[in-house]
Amino acid sequence: MTTRLIIECEEKCLHDLEDIATFLKDLVYLHDRLALLAPYNLENLKTFENIYVSDYFYRRFTRPLSEADKLKVYHIHLHSPLSIELALGIAIGFPAAAKAFVEFIKIIRDWEYDKEMKQLEVMKLKLDIAEKIKDYKDELGIANIDKISPQLKKEQIIELLEKDVIRLTRYEVKIKEVSIKNPHR
């Protein structure tokens, strides 16, 4: 069994199906961006570095992840409150990416997006994200990415991670609770 991430959302009578679908899709993008930084994926990353920073990253079959590393749905409860249980295959081979993913989800959970204060709020959110990236930079391999991939720059990766997290804060789907189930323990 693999480590599972449980995301409980706030109660709401009705969610737009498209909102839920794109929220889930953006979770996949954030996960995959982190998973591609795994040391065993770096050869793939060198080969596909143009995809990592381009719009092709958002196409379904262009991210070079093994089946074991892909984010999987273990259980989803679509009734209000929405509950999603995800299987984190990367937790076995690349625990730093799994930990960072969970930490980013917690930032999203704790974030109150105020449209009136948009620019200031986004700057604060970027600082929160940057702090988490700094915490995991060495473990994720971001610190040495310039040596591994001549085209990918550390700043690009950080900016893309920021965009992924910020996008997830703007949904009507609001995360209330985040927990981990680790069946190995």
Predicted confidence pLDDT, tens digits, the chain (185 residues): 688 999 999 887 667 888 889 999 999 999 998 888 776 666 666 666 777 777 878 887 788 788 888 899 999 988 888 899 999 988 888 888 888 899 999 988 887 655 555 667 777 778 888 888 777 777 777 766 766 666 677 788 888 888 888 888 888 888 888 888 886 55
Where exactly are the structural domains of the chain? 3-181
Token pair listed for 84 = 């999603």
Q: If you ran DSSP here, which 8-state letter would residue 179 be given?
A: E
What is Dmax (Cα atoms) for the chain? Answer: 50
Copy the structure tokens of residue 2.
């693999």
Q: Which two tokens stand for residue 81?
A: 């409150």
| Whole-number Å distance between alpha carbons of 93 and 35 | 10
What does the chain come to in residues? 185
Would you state the structure tokens that stand for residue 135, as one six-digit string? 């915490």
> What CA dihedral angle connects 128, 133, 134 and 136, to 10 degrees?
130
Report which residue type is found at 151: Q
CA distance 121 to 115: 8
**Separation CA 155–CA 169 (nearest Å):** 21
Structure confidence at residue 89 (pLDDT): 87
9, 66, 80, 123, 180 from 6: Cα distances, Å: 10, 22, 15, 28, 6
